[in-house]
Amino acid sequence: MENSQLIAIKTFCSFYNVEYSFIESLQRSGMIETVVESETQFLHVPQLQKIERMIRLHQELDINLEGIEAIHTLLGRIDDMEREITGLKNRLRFFEPGL
């Protein structure tokens, strides 16, 4: 992946005023992925929106890591079901164009 698609975790933490250990616990639980280059840990820029949502859940709603993990899993399942519904609608339109 290009370096332009990476942001240093320390930079991210200072910008969002979040503890480095929180990002590490998200990574250990498998909710986010990090990259290590030159002994520095980085986050993938495309996953920043997801991480921002997790930070808001933790800071604003005081949800612990286990709760965030449950919410993350449920939101993933909702996304999967929405994609499946869209695919089924497209198939239905193919076989019944009048709908």
Please list the pLDDT of the chain residue by residue as tens digits (99 residues): 455 689 999 999 999 999 999 999 999 999 999 999 888 999 999 999 999 999 999 999 999 999 999 999 999 999 999 999 999 999 998 888 766
Query: How far lies 48's CA from each of 5, 85, 93, 99, in Å?
Result: 11, 26, 35, 38
Write phi, then psi, for 5 (nearest 5 degrees). -95, 15
**Domain ranges within the chain, ordered by starting residue:** 3-95
Give the Cα separation of 38 and 48 in Å (integer). Answer: 21
pLDDT of residue 45: 92
Q: Does domain 3-95 have CATH number 1.10.1660.10?
A: yes
Residues 6, 44 contacting (CB under 8 angstroms): yes
pLDDT of residue 54: 95
